[in-house]
Each structure stands twice: as C-alpha cells, then as structure tokens.
Structure 1
Amino acid sequence: MSKILTVAIPCYNSEAYMEHCIRSLLPAGEDIEILIVDDGSTKDRTPQIADEYQEKYPGIIRAIHQENGGHGEAVNAGLRNASGLYYKVIDSDDWADTKALKAIVARLKELEEAGTPVDMLLADFVYDKEGARHKKVVHFRGVFPVNRVFDWSAMGHMKETQYILMHNIFYRTRTARESGMVLPKHTFYVDNLFAFQPFPYVKKLYYMDVVFYHYYIGREDQSVNEQVMIGRIDQQIKVNRMMIDIMNRQNFEGLDPHVEKYMYIYLDKIMTVTSSLLLVSGTKENLEKKKKIWAYLKKTSPKMYRRLRWSILGISMNLPGWLGRKLSVAGYKAARKLVGFN
C-alpha cells in the first residue's frame, strides 16, 4: 500500500538544524515517507546525517543526494521521487507540530478510505520569530469551510494578512505533477510558484484549522531577511515575471472564477513585495527595475495591468514623487510589522 504522505526536506549545509525538523516528523511513523534532499552540501555533515537517518529508519526515510540546484530543484527532486499520495515540503530550518501532523495524516487516510480524495489540503502556519512575544498565526477561519471537502466557490473574503503559502499546502501528488510545475534551478523565492502554478488543477480542497508548520524567522542569512532579499532582488523579479507569464498562459475558461480571483490576489501581493523592496533600496538602478516590472506587466497583459495597477496595493506602490516613495515604504514596513514577518 502507498504511503499516505511524502514530506520532502530540502537541505543545504543544514547540519545545525535539520535534525530538529526530521525528528518533528518521525512520530507519524510508517504512514509517511520522509525524503531528505541533500542539495549538494559540502561545508558540513548534512549528507552524512541524511544517510544516518535513512539507515536508522528504513521504510520511512530516504536520503537523496544531488548536485547543487537550489531550493527549487530540491523541491522538484522530492516531487519526482515521492511515493506518497500527498506531497508536502518543509524547509530544514522549520519544523512540524507533531499533534497537528498526526491529525492531518489521519484525516488524509479517512478521505482516501471514503473515496473522497482532495487535490489540496490546507493547514495553518505560525511565524516563529526568534525572541517575539507574539507569534503571528496565518489561518483561514472565515475564508474556507473547516473539516469538509469543498471547491473554490466556497472561498470567502481573504484579508491582506491571509495568503496561501507553501507552508499551508499539502498537494495531492498526482495533481502537483499534472500541473507541470517544475521550479527553476538556483533561484530563491520559488515557493511563490509552488503556491501558485498548480492552483488551476486544484478542484477539491480541505481545510484543517490546526497549526502544523512552524516557520522560523531569525537567522541573519535567511532568504526572507529584508537586506538579503534586496541583495537577491533580481531573483525576486525573475519569480515575479514567471508568475505574470503563468497568468498569461493560463486559460481560465471553464474553471471556477474563484481560482482566477485568488491568483490575481496573490500576484497583487507579489507585485507589492517586489515593488516595496525596490523602493526600500532606493537606488536609481532599483527604481528603474521597479518601472520595468510594471512595464512588463502592462506590455504582456494590459487587462491584468489595469486590474493590479489600480488595486489598493498597486496604487500604494506607485505614489508619485519622493514623498510618494516615502509613504509607500512606510506602509510596507508597517505591514511587515503587522504580519510579524521579519
């Protein structure tokens, strides 16, 4: 019998924290498959730790060693090798809530046994920020029905602080594969593509209001650190453009209109993140890059440009003049503080 769930853990020189992540998954036992994807680690014992766990937990853990291809290629490798009916990615510096994991695995098994499989199960995640007294939980209460199968038409109003990220998602493995999703190599921020491209292939959903994923925020070299993101802004822009291209290629005719609505909402947020980082940087070169990403959107899809440019977020990111830029940056920083992000 197939495993109910495959969890892939992309690891790159992750010796300092990967075992915490692995151990948080082990209580699910034989129902899950854990793929430790060593993405060409050379600076520490990541490859050896992966092999040690594979030897200690045969039938549960598999170690996959590959040449360095970046986070996206590690996710791709996990999806290619997954034997579970559902597929989940958890980064090596993050971890799972064991109680929530067991509840999710049990529910996925129940859905399969009842003949009512879903294409995507969603669960909550928490920003586990180092030293923070209040840790922000991203949930979907009031947005999606709880503990029942539904389709996109059941989606309610989503607040600005609510969004579906890789951390929330458990895909049906077949659905993720059928979407044709192959994440680019050597590129950061591809988790935005993971939580975007397969959505038109998702017909049946399920939401469990349990905090499963602990998203650790605190390492100085973390990819979501603001200064790190500005230093890698070209990769953020690359992912942003790919998301625009996905929307331009997708034929939404015959699909639930709520899918298209949500994808617009999420692209609106990504355009805002990209624009905000370029404004925070404030260099002449980066301000020009901001103009270019909006020009690319306008050139490739005037209809999508009008919809996003004149949204509340689009307007806030394109206020004129020096004072407008200051107001945009202030709004962005306030939003980051509200979310408890970085």
Structure 2
Amino acid sequence: MDIDREKEGKCLTVTVPCYNSESYLERCVESLLKERDGLEIILVDDGSTDRTGQLADQYARAYPDVVRVVHKKNGGHGSGVNAGLMLANGIYFKVVDSDDWLDEAAFHKLMSVLRFWCRTKEEKRPDLVVCNYVYDHLEEGKTKAVRYGNLFPEQKICRWDEIGCFSPEQYLVMHALIFRTGVLYDCGLKLPEHTFYVDNLFANCPLPFVQRIYYLNEDLYHYYLGREDQSVNEKVLVSRIDQQILVTQLGNRFVGSDAVQNTEPKLRRYLYRNSSIMMAISTIHLLMLGKEGRQRRKKLWQSLKKENPKLYRRLRLGSISGLTCLPGASGAAVVLGGYRMARRIWQFQ
C-alpha cells in the first residue's frame, strides 16, 4: 500500500476537517503551503453554511497539485478525518484542525525528515513520528509547549520498550502525531460521526500497531484556545457530555481488546492511564450537572463494571479516576475543587 503512495510522489497527507471555518481557515492552510514538495492537503468541507467551501475551492484552483477538496454533508470531526484518510495518497498522515496551524520552521524540518524516510525502504520507516505541540492562547498572549524529550530519544528510531516515563501532563495527543498511513489502515481506524472528542480515539487506537517511533523535538503544532464555542470550553464540555461518555466507553472497549492486551507493557500501562484520565474527565463533567450528574456517574461506572470487571477494578481502585467517585454532594464538591486547582497548576484543557 505504501508503494502505491510512493508512486503518487506524496510523503505526507494533511487532512483539515472544516466546518464554518471562514474566519480562520486561511491561517491554517497558509501555514501548510509553506512546504509543498511531497505534500498533499485534503480540505474536507463538512457541510459548512458560510464561505468555507468557497475558500477551500479557491485554494484547490490555486494549488491543484497540492490541495484537494471534499464537500460533504455534515458528519462531525470524525467524519471529516475518515473522508481524508479514505482519499489519502501520502505515505504519512496528519490531521490539522481548521482553527489551528503549524510553525513554519518546524514544518520545514518535519517535511525534510519525512522526505528522507520516504526515500528509504518501507521496513526502515518509522510507523509514528512525534513532534511537540503548543497551547496557544492568542488573545491572552500566552503559550505553553508540551514536549517529549523525556520519553523518546531525539532523531533516533526507538520501540515501546525503550521509552521513558510520562509526566502527569503528557499524553500522545492527535496534535503531536504523524502516523504512517498504512498503520491507520492496519488498525481499521474509523471514527464515529457526529461526535466530538474523537481525537482521543485517533491518537490511541493505532498505537498497538506501531513498532517504530521517531521523535523530532520541534514545536510544530499550534493548538488554538480561546473560542467560546470551542469543544474544550467547560460549558461546551458539559453540554456535550453524552459525546464525551461515548468516546470514553469506546476507549475502554479498545483498552480491553486483544490488541492492547498483547502489546508491550509500557504501552499497555500508558493506555490504561489514558482510560483512567478519560473516565475521570467524564465523571468530573457529569458532577458539574449536580444531583442528576451524580446519578449518571454511578451508571457510567456500573456499565464499565458489567462490561469489563478487570478494567473496572483497575480504574476504580488503582488509578486517579477512582478518586472522582467520592460519595454525595460534599464528595462531588471536593472532586470539582481538586479538578479546577489542577487546571490552574498544569494549565491543561
């Protein structure tokens, strides 16, 4: 499959799911067009009602050898990723959200590395390239970079048994990852439609199929924060709690799968930790709903206990997610207070 892509001459496919993105799409696409050699950009217009589709078509006309456009009915972020993956010609694949952008110098270095790997034999190529990403509060003038130098050796291929230890704020999130496209096909990746937060599934489900990892210590991805309608906004999170729970439950089923149980112990521990934090996040957001949320929290944990008793015991009794189950209204207040204090300390979203 990689051989066919090599004939197309594309090292990297960047898919940009777009929905009503006219006010920031240009910033995103222009940051990608700085490196056109070996690059394919797929702009997926996910049923936009503003000028997003027209802007995307303008880029396709101006850069016909680089930019492709898909116009489709609205299906959500996961649907946009699925559409881009289905059409991808690049040996490697990355998702860039339409309100985010890539650093010019870092992207130049990444493309140089990918062009090198695309000239080598398939069995020598990394399955996953990891770069740093930056939380970018443009309006506040604040940034925070998340880096992985403590986890991976720089500019050297390694395997899961060679990685270091994750710090509390470190996760292999979508923004940091460039997968070999064949890996995404091998794991059968297909994200649910009309659902937010599927980037967690995109980032984690392919990992058991990754054997060779390459870390490029560059602050590549700028993750824009500050929009009131953004999916990480606390009020928005609560309003979309059903979608958050769905992604959490899908992630739990994945962690219970044979693919995870048979993988390297370090990776398996990381994936358990990710399940723990997802359960904690879902539980905390439910607690923001008051009494109703406490009842739904109980049902969420009971569902996990019924479906996967082993994972339930691990998360309930031996991980941070268990601490979110303090009983009653007073227990919920303690949990929410701790959560908000942790957000201030680590500035996570």
Superposition TM-score tier, normalisation by shorter sequence: over 0.9
Counterpart Cα distance in 2 of 1:131 and 1:17: 14
Runs of 4+, deviation exceeding 4 Å: none
Q: Is the 8 A contact 1:129 1:340 kept in 2?
A: no
Counterpart Cα distance in 2 of 1:5 and 1:339: 33
Structure 1 residues 247 and 202: alpha-carbon distance in aligned structure 2, compared to 1, 3 A threshold: same
Match of residue 103 from structure 2? 97
The answer to which of 107-116 and 273-282 deviates more is 107-116
SS at structure 2 position matched to 1:30: coil
SS at structure 2 position matched to 1:27: coil
The answer to which of 69-78 and 324-333 deviates more is 324-333
Offset of 1:285 from its aligned partner?
2.1
Counterpart Cα distance in 2 of 1:67 and 1:322: 43
Match of residue 326 from structure 1? 333
Offset of 1:163 from its aligned partner?
0.6
Match of residue 258 from structure 1? 266
Q: How do 1:310-321 and structure 2 match up within 5 A?
A: 310-321=317-328
Counterpart Cα distance in 1 of 2:333 and 2:293: 15
The answer to which of 249-258 and 108-117 deviates more is 249-258
Counterpart Cα distance in 1 of 2:217 and 2:300: 36
Amino acid paired to 1:219: R
- 2:169 aligned with 1:156: no
Q: How do 1:174-189 and structure 2 match up within 5 A?
A: 174-189=182-197
Question: Where does the alignment leave 5 or more consecutive residues of structure 1 unmatched?
Answer: none
Amino acid paired to 2:189: M
Counterpart Cα distance in 1 of 2:25 and 2:214: 29
SS at structure 2 position matched to 1:160: coil
Q: How do 1:22-101 and structure 2 match up within 5 A?
A: 22-42=29-49, 44-101=50-107
1:257-310 Cα deviation digits (max 9, x unpaired): 22211111111111111111111232x222112111111211111111111112
1:90-115 Cα deviation digits (max 9, x unpaired): 00001110111111111122223343
Q: How do 1:1-342 and structure 2 match up within 5 A?
A: 1=7, 2-42=9-49, 44-115=50-121, 116-252=124-260, 254-282=262-290, 284-342=291-349
Structure 1 residues 251 and 22: alpha-carbon distance in aligned structure 2, compared to 1, 3 A threshold: closer
Counterpart Cα distance in 1 of 2:262 and 2:242: 35
Offset of 1:314 from its aligned partner?
2.1
Structure 1 residues 231 and 254: alpha-carbon distance in aligned structure 2, compared to 1, 3 A threshold: closer
Structure 1 residues 129 and 341: alpha-carbon distance in aligned structure 2, compared to 1, 3 A threshold: farther
The answer to which of 242-251 and 5-14 deviates more is 242-251
Structure 1 residues 253 and 160: alpha-carbon distance in aligned structure 2, compared to 1, 3 A threshold: closer
Offset of 1:254 from its aligned partner?
4.4
- Cα-Cα RMSD: 1.4
Counterpart Cα distance in 2 of 1:132 and 1:268: 31
Structure 1 residues 130 and 253: alpha-carbon distance in aligned structure 2, compared to 1, 3 A threshold: closer
Q: Is the 8 A contact 1:11 1:38 kept in 2?
A: yes
1:144-185 Cα deviation digits (max 9, x unpaired): 221110111112111111111110110100101111110011
Counterpart Cα distance in 2 of 1:236 and 1:205: 29
Question: Where does the alignment leave 5 or more consecutive residues of structure 2 unmatched?
Answer: 1-6
The answer to which of 323-332 and 177-186 deviates more is 323-332
Identity %: 42
Counterpart Cα distance in 2 of 1:134 and 1:23: 22
SS at structure 2 position matched to 1:135: strand
Q: Is the 8 A contact 2:79 2:193 kept in 1?
A: yes
TM-score, structure 2 length as denominator? 0.94
Counterpart Cα distance in 2 of 1:117 and 1:86: 10
Offset of 1:21 from its aligned partner?
0.1
Counterpart Cα distance in 2 of 1:299 and 1:253: 19
What is the number of equivalent residue pairs in this alignment?
340
Counterpart Cα distance in 2 of 1:253 and 1:92: 35
Q: Is the 8 A contact 1:248 1:300 kept in 2?
A: no
Offset of 1:213 from its aligned partner?
0.6
TM-score, structure 1 length as denominator? 0.96
Match of residue 3 from structure 2? none
Q: Is the 8 A contact 1:151 1:205 kept in 2?
A: yes
